[in-house]
């Protein structure tokens, strides 16, 4: 029973730790480490403001500046390496492609990945401009030997072709930007797990306090054992002597009666 309580207690502690880690939201397999954005994005208003809100939130979550500052603006440029020119809207060209008409500027470029934010409700294969853009980013990422990460809203409807193109680079499509009222199912499960683990821990502790404890038995030392054996031997010898003495007295009494 005691061993069962111990195992149950350890299991509850592990469940509680895992639940707490999930609630902290920092173990997701993408560059942010998060399952969803640190705050909801705009979903109504000016299209430019809607797109900008996603970029700004992702910039904070990545800890990386947007590729829009004057000292940033790294582009994927048209032409070939050595023969292409740097467009006026770009500070440098990180890659060249003869398939690009002019240039493309991803939202984020680091020495480890390329990232793009899409604050859209739908991202379908019918949208040829979006398909061409993401395909160009994927080709540049492959040429630079780095992954492409496409961050979308948690409710964005995507065509499967986007997953195929992006995942081919070693990156992935991340349903990331929370919308107002969004509740992460993993968070909900983690909260339940944390509550249950706390209840089990308290119950096991209370059960251990209520059960009667066995009296502790002090183990006898080797010296005590030797002393006990010696005393038993002495008692046996004394008892034997007494019996022999009694037998002698009986024999003497018989001799006196003769």
| pLDDT, tens digit (0-9, with 9 covering 90-100), for 99-121 | 887 899 999 999 999 999 999 99
In the chain, the percentage of residues whose pLDDT exceeds 90 is 52
On whether residue 80 sits in a domain, the answer given is: yes
On whether residue 133 sits in a domain, the answer given is: yes
- One domain for residues 128 and 190: no
Q: Please check the confidence at residue 30 and state whether its pLDDT lies above 90.
A: yes
- One domain for residues 45 and 142: yes
Q: Which domain holds residue 205?
A: 1-25+184-209
- One domain for residues 73 and 136: yes
Least confident segment among 79-83, 155-159, 213-217, 237-241: 213-217
Least confident segment among 33-47, 51-65, 70-84, 165-179: 70-84
In this prediction, residue 209 carries a pLDDT of: 73
At residue 250 the predicted structure's pLDDT band, cuts being 50, 70 and 90, is low
Is residue 187 classed exposed, middle or buried when 0-12, 13-18 and 19+ CB atoms within 10 A define those classes?
middle
- H helices within 25-153, ranges in order? 47-62, 128-143
- One domain for residues 52 and 116: yes
HSE at residue 15, side-chain half, CA atoms within 13 A, is 19
In this prediction, residue 38 carries a pLDDT of: 95
Least confident segment among 16-20, 61-65, 138-142: 16-20
CB-based burial, 215-253: b 16+ in 10 Å, e otherwise: eeeeeeeeeeeeeeeeeeeeeeeeeeeeeeeeeeeeeee
Closest CA to 90 of 81, 98, 78: 78
In this prediction, residue 235 carries a pLDDT of: 73
- One domain for residues 101 and 118: yes
On whether residue 107 sits in a domain, the answer given is: yes
Cα–Cα dist 35/27, whole Å: 8
Cβ distance 91 to 74 under 8 Å? yes
Count of domains observed in the chain: 2
- One domain for residues 64 and 126: yes
- One domain for residues 44 and 161: yes
- One domain for residues 52 and 68: yes
Query: In this structure, what CATH number is given to the domain that contains residue 64?
Result: 3.40.1350
User: To the nearest whole number, what is the mean pLDDT of the chain?
Assistant: 86
- One domain for residues 49 and 169: yes
- One domain for residues 113 and 135: yes
Q: In the chain, what is the straight-line distance between the N-terminal and C-terminal CA atoms, in Å?
A: 75
Q: Partners of 158 in the beta sheet? A: 123
At residue 203 the predicted structure's pLDDT band, cuts being 50, 70 and 90, is confident
At residue 46 the predicted structure's pLDDT band, cuts being 50, 70 and 90, is very high
On whether residue 168 sits in a domain, the answer given is: yes
Tell me the pTM.
0.76
Q: Please check the confidence at residue 91 and state whether its pLDDT lies above 80.
A: yes
What is the average pLDDT across 72-83? 83
On whether residue 218 sits in a domain, the answer given is: no
- One domain for residues 203 and 175: no
Q: Please check the confidence at residue 8 and state whether its pLDDT lies above 60.
A: yes
Cβ distance 80 to 121 under 8 Å? no
- One domain for residues 191 and 129: no
At residue 97 the predicted structure's pLDDT band, cuts being 50, 70 and 90, is confident
In the chain, the percentage of residues whose pLDDT exceeds 70 is 83
What is the average pLDDT across 67-82? 85
């Amino acid at each position: 029973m005691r061993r069962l309580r111990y195992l149950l207690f350890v299991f509850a502690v592990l469940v509680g730790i895992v639940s707490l880690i999930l609630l902290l939201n920092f173990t997701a397999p993408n560059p942010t480490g998060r399952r969803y954005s640190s705050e909801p994005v705009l979903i109504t208003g000016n299209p430019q403001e809607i797109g900008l809100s996603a970029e700004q939130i992702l910039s904070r979550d990545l800890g990386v500046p947007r590729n829009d500052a004057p000292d940033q603006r790294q582009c994927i440029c048209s032409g070939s390496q050595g023969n292409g020119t740097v467009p006026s809207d770009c500070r440098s060209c990180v890659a060249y492609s003869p398939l690009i008409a002019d240039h493309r500027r991803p939202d984020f470029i680091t020495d480890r990945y390329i990232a793009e934010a899409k604050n859209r409700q739908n991202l379908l294969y019918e949208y040829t401009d979006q398909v061409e853009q993401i395909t160009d980013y994927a080709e540049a990422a492959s040429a630079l030997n780095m992954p492409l990460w496409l961050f979308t809203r948690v409710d964005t409807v995507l065509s499967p072709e986007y997953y195929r193109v992006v995942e081919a680079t070693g990156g992935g499509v991340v349903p990331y930007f929370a919308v107002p009222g969004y509740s992460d199912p993993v968070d909900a499960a983690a909260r339940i797990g944390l509550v249950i683990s706390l209840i089990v821990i308290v119950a096991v502790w209370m059960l251990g306090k209520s059960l009667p404890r066995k009296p502790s038995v002090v183990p006898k030392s080797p010296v005590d054992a030797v002393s006990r054996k010696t005393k038993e031997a002495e008692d046996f010898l004394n008892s034997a002597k007494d019996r022999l003495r009694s037998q002698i007295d009986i024999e003497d009494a018989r001799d006196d009666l003769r």
